[in-house]
Every structure is written in structure tokens, then in C-alpha cells.
Structure 1
């Protein structure tokens, strides 16, 4: 979903749904109501950073929302008010036996996340890292920052891999997945860090390695127009090196592509059913992206590459998603 700076994915089959990450704001609540997503089987939070969990406490506090399971790996060193409020709401729902709290969002979680024709695999963290959790530099095994603990999920629809949700995985966390020989291929990749730096050294090499493993047809950067200048040019260059034919789409218009404030408030390629946070103020680019399992067993997505490309050619000053110079 286009939620501005942050991450959120809604996975649905019929009326049953799962939500992966939820920042502050109204788009997710509106999307759930507009599309009659009455049964939330799983609320999954990849890691406890504000832009991934900011709206979770409010959702848990809503007495009209049914949430069967709440998944969030524990963090002994995260003490923000947002995180502590979230745990308080989770405890209240657990005490009332309305939502089951699950603190094991790791590779040991297998079929527990599946429902109907949806399968959700946890590719990271592995058992070793999950056993340690987020840790300070004083730990014998060294520092484990929040991003390294990010849960990396692969969503399959009707038996076919569809989307890889990479959260904010860093280079060492990514190395851990590769070293275990995990299959990460998916036609759609939501790129880690909103296209920002993985803070592990060479961001171009990191982007190239991620795309070499995932082999995406579509690379999504979930970003807010007024937060940072993502995606970084070196990240785009790495994506192009590994996936030269891939469709690159930002949920909102990057300031690296368009610095002027005069941008269109509406466009025909935006989803009519699933809201985009930036649409009303002319900040959305691809907006919310809808990925579907088609009747012939393939995976499709909307907006299509042709419709999105037409929009950026007509409206964006320097559409870097169409032409990236290494």
C-alpha cells in the first residue's frame, strides 16, 4: 500500500486477510473497511521500528476489528512509547482471549501463517538469530540491530510465489538467508529500507545481490515523498544491473525524480478500490499496487508497467525508474 514513508501489505483471499506492518495513518483502516476485510487472521510486524508498527496499537484497540493472531518478535532493548503502547494493547486483547500473541515470527513458523489459497513463508530470522533477538554491542555475539532482526516474508497466492516483503533487512541479515540456500524468488519485490542505505557498506552491490536472488519482474519502493530522498541512485543502479528488464515503481514520487510541487493530484492508473495516501495531495506515483493470482495460474499486478510508465513520462521531470545510468 501507498502509506507514505513506511511499509504495509494486505494479503487477502475472500474475506480473510493478513496484514504485514502498519504505520500511522488512515489508508489501511479505510482499505480494510472499503474492501470488507472483516476477518484478520494474522497481524504481522516485521520489526519494531515506528514506520512499520506505528498504527498497530490503534488497530488492536479497535473493538470492531477481529484479529485472530498478532505476531511480533520480542525486543528487550526497544523502549519507545509506540512499542510499549503496542504491547499494552496486545496484552489486553490476549487477556480477553480475543487475539493470540505469537512471539515466534521466524523460520520455525511454517504452515501456521497459511489460510485458504494464501501461503506466507518466513525466510528470516533463522533460529540462531531469533534465539538471541535484538542485542546491544555488549552481547557475546555482537550487536544485533533492529533491522537485522527484520522478518523477511514470501507470500504465495494459489500455490505460486507472488511477493517478497524484505522489510528493512540489512546486508548481514541478507547474507544469513543466502548462506542457508533459501529460495527467495518472487515476481514482485518490496525493496528493503524504502530504497535507502542498508548501512553495511556498498549499497549498489547490496541492491544487485538482492535482485539476483529474488529475480523480480516488479521492484517496489515504498516511500514518502517528503521523507528522505529515496530510492538512492546507487540502489537503482544495482537493481538495473541484476534485473535490467524489471519494472521499477515507487509508491510516491521521489524528489530525486521530481523536485517541483506542481504534480497531478489524480491519475487514471491509481486503484479505485485500494486508497493511496499521497493521491489527494499529488504525491503518489505508482500509488498502492495490487498483486493478484490470475485464473490461468499466473501472477499479475496493477498498475501495469505500460500504464505507470505513461504516467511518469507525461508528468515527472526526470523519471529515473525508466532510465538509470550506472
Structure 2
């Protein structure tokens, strides 16, 4: 049977998800580094139906230009909302590579990664819903404080996506959505439920005031069994204790898993070498330095449609208990 799965790649500080049905794939966000290319090559992901970038921050787009520049990579559609404010070399190089592909008619550029995309992102047994931005926000885009509707920062424009496998919701990818952006989804009565949540901001502050309340609100809407924090051990000290507390407030029984070992949990330089729970098929960026915790997380749809994932809660918890000094995912003290 063809594999039907969503792979949350351990890329360090950044986000990347590979959605696969057989040889057909969609890639959501591509940070800088070798992890994504290695994952595609190692798992024979030959045909990319959609390359989607949630918003133009470095830790979400840093490696996308390289992917677009690779003549051996087939990409049918490239989705990226425009930004008149973003002018980094990374972003401009990305647009240049996208333009070259469009000129050759090898990749179609799609600038409407918003609710209006509807079924255009579906392929094979995969459905990808754009829950945010809505038309009001997408029509304005990123904006300065001088705009009549006020400032619209990059994070508020983050595309929030829900991936379904074989007709069942599997993963909610929240990118870097802020509290006001999330409130706009809630106000529209959108169903956000999914068994797996990739938490926004890598577990950092949403910069809206109360991070505990924000995390609680997000998890109350999504109702996840698994909450993934995609983070790098050597970048910031995520997830924040307030964020973990909010997760526990809403879903106390949920499995919490960081892709790499947080410095809040294990501050010593000596990192555990036990990696038996890590995926043997998909690479994890932290493996070389012994920094992976859950590592790359693989969510699968079984023949009966049930959604499962690896590493399992028992596998990951055993690793954490045996190797991590002060694991916050198992013993929250706030």
C-alpha cells in the first residue's frame, strides 16, 4: 500500500512538513539546512504537487530558493502570499527562483494561499484546508501601522493549514499565527480539530499578552492528542513554561513532544545518545549532535482511516524519563 503520511521534520529552529501519498507530495515551509532535501531524496519523493510557504520569515522560507533552483526537483505549484514589506535577500532570491520556474512553465506560481484556495490544494487521498488568512486579511496583506485597519505583521498573515488523510483530519499546522490572527479564525466558527497540533511560534511568545491563555485557547479549539514543538536546542529556550501550562490547562492528557531537546529540560552539555526511538527512515537534524528529543515525527493514516504517529507516546516518554534531567513535558511545575 502506498504510504499516506505527514512528516514533521526535525529541522532545528524552523518548520517543515512533508505530506505524502505514494510518490506525490506537498511540502509546507522549508527552512535553511540539509534536512528537507535529505528527507526527500532518502524517501523517493519525486513528485511535489505543492510547495507552500506559510509566511516569509527566514525559519520558514530559508531553504525554499535552493529547492526551486534544483533542476532535478519537480514542483507543480508554488504557493506564497505576496508581501510588499518583506525585502530580505532570502525573500527576493526566492521570488527570483520562482519567476525563473514560471518563465519556463515548469512551476505555477499561486499567490492566493488563503481560504479562497478551497480544493485546489488537494491531491490523491490528501486534503489541505487553508483556515487562515481569510479574504479580509488576504486582501490587505502585510501592512504598516499607517494602514486604516492598522498594522498587519508577518505572523498575523501566517497561513494556518489543516491536513486530512483519507478523509480524516490529521494535523493542524499553525505556523507563527498570533493571538489576533487566531481570534479571527475562531470568530468565523471554523472547525480546527485535529489529533496532532504543530504549535505556533515553536512554543515561544505569541506577543499578544498572555501566553498561557493563548496556548489554552489554541488547544481548546484543536483538541489535539499530540502537541509538537518544532524547535532547535541552541535557539531560544522554547517551549516557554507559560505555553506548556496553557497546553496542560486545555488538554492535560495530551502527549507533548519537542523535536529537539529544550534547554529548559536538559541544560548540561552532555546530551543523551540513546536514539532508538527516532525514525529510521526520515532524518532528524538534531541526530548528529545528539540533540533530538522526539526527532522527526511521522503521522500516518491506517487502512481503516485511524490516525497514528511515531515515535509513540510510550517510546518517547521512555527516552525522556531515562535521559532528560528535568523533563517539562512529563512534570509541569508552574
What TM-score comes out, normalization by structure 1 length? 0.99
- Is 1:141 paired with 2:128? no
Q: Any idea what SS the aligned residue of 1:122 has?
A: strand
Q: Any idea what SS the aligned residue of 2:295 has?
A: coil
RMSD, aligned α-carbons: 0.5
In structure 1, what is the Cα distance between the partners aligned to 2:174 and 2:70?
A: 28
Counterpart mapping for 1:44-193 below 5 A: 44-193=52-201
Q: Any idea what SS the aligned residue of 2:289 has?
A: coil
Task: Report if the CA contact (8 A) 1:265-1:280 is conserved.
Answer: no
In structure 2, what is the Cα distance between the partners aligned to 1:78 and 1:254?
A: 30
Q: Any idea what SS the aligned residue of 1:109 has?
A: helix
Partner of 1:259: 267
In structure 1, what is the Cα distance between the partners aligned to 2:254 and 2:96?
A: 42
Task: Report if the CA contact (8 A) 1:266-1:279 is conserved.
Answer: no
Task: Report if the CA contact (8 A) 1:266-1:280 is conserved.
Answer: no
How many pairs does the alignment contain? Answer: 326
Q: Any idea what SS the aligned residue of 1:37 has?
A: coil
Task: Report if the CA contact (8 A) 2:274-2:319 is conserved.
Answer: no
- Is 1:31 paired with 2:39? yes
Q: Give the Å deviation of 1:297.
A: 1.4
Q: Any idea what SS the aligned residue of 2:116 has?
A: coil
Task: Report if the CA contact (8 A) 2:172-2:194 is conserved.
Answer: yes
Task: Report if the CA contact (8 A) 1:45-1:53 is conserved.
Answer: yes
- The correspondence for 1:271, drawn from 241, 265, 279, is 279
Partner of 1:237: 245
- The correspondence for 2:326, drawn from 306, 315, 318, is 318
Q: Any idea what SS the aligned residue of 2:288 has?
A: coil
Q: Any idea what SS the aligned residue of 1:219 has?
A: strand
Partner of 1:286: 294
Task: Report if the CA contact (8 A) 1:265-1:281 is conserved.
Answer: no
In structure 1, what is the Cα distance between the partners aligned to 2:74 and 2:249?
A: 44
Task: Report if the CA contact (8 A) 2:25-2:49 is conserved.
Answer: yes
After superposing on structure 2, the runs of 4+ consecutive aligned residues of structure 1 that deviate more than 3 Å are: none
What TM-score comes out, normalization by structure 2 length? 0.97
Q: Give the Å deviation of 1:325.
A: 2.3
Q: Cα deviations across residues 206-265 of structure 1 (Å, max 9, x unaligned)?
A: 000000000000000000000000000000000000000000000000000000111123
Point out where structure 2 has 5 or more consecutive residues left out of the alignment.
Answer: 1-8
In structure 2, what is the Cα distance between the partners aligned to 1:266 and 1:299?
A: 27
Q: Cα deviations across residues 26-66 of structure 1 (Å, max 9, x unaligned)?
A: 01101101111000000000000000000000000000000
In structure 1, what is the Cα distance between the partners aligned to 2:332 and 2:222?
A: 20
Point out where structure 1 has 5 or more consecutive residues left out of the alignment.
Answer: none
Name whichever of 222-231 and 263-272 sits farther off. Answer: 263-272
Partner of 2:3: none
- The correspondence for 1:213, drawn from 221, 234, 245, is 221
In structure 1, what is the Cα distance between the partners aligned to 2:246 and 2:311?
A: 23
Q: Give the Å deviation of 1:266.
A: 4.4
